[in-house]
Amino acid sequence: MANGLILETTFLVDLERELAAGHEGPAQAFLAAQRAEPLFLTFTVAGELAVGLGAGDRRRWEEFIGPFAVLPASADVCWEYGRLFRYLKTNGLLIGANDLWIAATALAFGKALVTRNRRDFQRVPGLEVMGY
């Protein structure tokens, strides 16, 4: 397994819904089983959450993402994005731009990605994709 896990937006939406409903579901069970793993978000995931979480309530957003380290954009992330875009487009496998940034960040930092959207992310060569 990669050194740490990146939690993708679909996972975090499910986690937030479970917490709001007050019952343990698959996302919380996954986290409980992965207690020893460092947990990360990409800058893209943090941005996607800022769009929807709490309808613009920055404090709520900061509290929700607070337990996770946010991985930044870097030259390596940008290179991976370009490399992946070329490969996926050439092979008719292109995924959405935000998902591409998330995958590029995971590859650049050498981390596995936890998502409900395995179908799209499994198109990315070399990306370790985990469901829950």
Q: What is the pTM of this model?
A: 0.93
pLDDT at residue 36 greater than cutoff 80? yes
Of all residues in the chain, the percent with pLDDT exceeding 70 is 97
Q: Answer yes or no: is pLDDT of 1 > 70.
A: no
Specify the higher pLDDT residue, 53 or 103.
103
- Residue 104 belongs to what domain range? 5-130
- The helix/strand/coil state of 55 is helix
| 8 contact partners, CB below 8 Å, separation of at least 6 | 45, 102, 113, 114, 115, 116, 117, 121
Q: Which CATH number fits the domain that encloses residue 93?
A: 3.40.50.1010
pLDDT tens readout for residues 38-88: 999 999 999 999 998 766 789 989 999 999 999 999 999 999 999 999 999
Q: How many domains does the chain have?
A: 1
